[in-house]
Structure 1
Amino acid sequence: MEYLECVEKTTGENPDASVIWLHGLGASGHDFEPVIPHLGLPQDAHVRFVFPHAPQIPVTLNGGMVMPAWYDIRSLDRHNDTDEQGILASAERTRDLIKREMERGVSSDRIVIAGFSQGGAVAYHTALTFEQPLAGLMVLSSYFATMKLTTPSEANRQLPVFMAHGTNDPMLPEFLGQEALEHLRKLGYEPEYRTYPMEHEVCLEEIQAIGAWLRSVL
């Protein structure tokens, strides 16, 4: 099996929980590595953080420039011109990482799938459709690109979901987060949804809320 290249950090020996966290367009697995010390996890937490690097592909919206991306961005029409096959392919590679964590001895219901921006779009499909129960889904400053394609598995019908978005986000306006929230509610989920006065980024208050949520689901 050829897995995505990843940055891995653990908060203790012999991890019994995992967080697989996908970065945004043009970034890398190192992006959220500095967040770990600010999450306020207990000293006895044994968590493996897995930060995959997206493959290098041409991105149409950026003039075909090759960069780290989970899927192509063809236009600013986020729903009617989506690279669905690219999202599904990245979701499959993320599923491989979940299965690897399980092979390492981490129960599926101790694995969180997280994503920022593009990574969040992949995280939605990956977590909701996974055939075994997961610990949670965390989506930051993103949108639900595959709403029409994603049918949740029975195993994850009760999946805890954390969502956050910047109210001043110029790249993915906050209404896209609200749209995803409403769709999840229609599917029967009860997400925790938070907004912050920021742009397309994360802030300390948000990181602290993420830490509290991770403590609750792990």
Structure 2
Amino acid sequence: MNFLPCEIIETSDSIDASVIWLHGLGASGHDFVPIIPELQLPEHFGIRFIFPHAPEIPVTINGGMVMPAWYDILAMDMERKIDTDQILASAQAVIDLVDAEIAAGIASERIILAGFSQGGAVVYQAALNYDKPLAGLLALSTYFATHKTLQPSTANQHIPIQLFHGTQDPMVPEAMAQQALHALQALGYKPEYQSYAMQHEVCMQEIKDISAWLQQRLA
């Protein structure tokens, strides 16, 4: 099987959990690697952080320019007209990585999916459709692109979901995160929501809160 190319960071010689973390449009798997030491996780936490690289494809809203993207965006309205087949393919590519971690000895209940912006839209689909229970879903500055078409898996109907968003985000307005929150609640999930006075980015307080959330999920 051909897996997505990834950057991999391990916090210990003894690994018993995995975090698969997707970057946003135009970025790469290198994007969030520098955050790992900033999380200041306890030394006994043995986590494998996996940062996949998106394929390079033409992106319609950027004049057809070829860049790293998990799917094409056709229009920048509140509903974000997207290439649905591409987002489903990207979600499957993430599931392939999850399955590989399970095959390597990591229990599904010790695997977290995280994503920023476009990457977050992909992990919503991947995690909530997956047929084995996961440890959690972390949605950063993103939106729930497939909430109308998602076929939820009962295996993850109680998955812990954390949304983090910037109140001044010009790329993904906070209203889109609120839409995701309400859509999740309508589907029976119990997501947590936290906002910060920031734009389309990650701030230091958010990093501290991500660390606390990861420690709760993987304690």
What code does the residue aligned with 2:123 have? A
Distance 1:106 1:84 in 2: 30
> CA offsets per residue over residues 174-195 of structure 1, 9 Å max, x none?
0000010011112222212100
Distance 2:108 2:73 in 1: 31
Question: 1:166 maps to what in 2?
Answer: 166
Question: 1:56 maps to what in 2?
Answer: 56
TM-score for both structures, normalised by structure 1: 0.98
Equivalent positions of 1:33-48 (< 5 A) are 33-48=33-48
Unaligned 5+ runs, structure 2: none
The 3-state SS of whatever aligns with 1:51 is: strand
> CA offsets per residue over residues 43-88 of structure 1, 9 Å max, x none?
1010000000000000011111100000001111252622111100
Distance 2:42 2:104 in 1: 22
Question: 1:155 maps to what in 2?
Answer: 155
Distance 1:109 1:120 in 2: 19
Q: Tell me the percent identity.
A: 57
Does the CA contact (< 8 Å) of 1:58 and 1:67 recur in 2? yes
The 3-state SS of whatever aligns with 2:75 is: coil
Post-superposition offset of 1:40: 2.6
Question: 1:104 maps to what in 2?
Answer: 104
Does the CA contact (< 8 Å) of 1:108 and 1:134 recur in 2? yes
Distance 2:178 2:188 in 1: 15
Distance 1:205 1:39 in 2: 10
Aligned residues: 218
Does the CA contact (< 8 Å) of 1:78 and 1:145 recur in 2? no
Asked if 1:142 is matched to 2:142, the reply is yes
What code does the residue aligned with 1:61 have? I
Does the CA contact (< 8 Å) of 2:113 and 2:137 recur in 1? yes
Question: 2:119 maps to what in 1?
Answer: 119
> CA offsets per residue over residues 146-170 of structure 1, 9 Å max, x none?
0111121010000000111000000
Asked if 1:68 is matched to 2:68, the reply is yes
What code does the residue aligned with 1:140 have? L
What code does the residue aligned with 1:18 have? S
Question: 1:87 maps to what in 2?
Answer: 87
Post-superposition offset of 1:14: 3.1
TM-score for both structures, normalised by structure 2: 0.98
Distance 2:89 2:124 in 1: 13
The 3-state SS of whatever aligns with 1:115 is: strand
> CA offsets per residue over residues 76-122 of structure 1, 9 Å max, x none?
12526221111001000000000011111100000000000000000
Does the CA contact (< 8 Å) of 2:25 and 2:70 recur in 1? yes
Q: CA RMSD in A?
A: 0.9
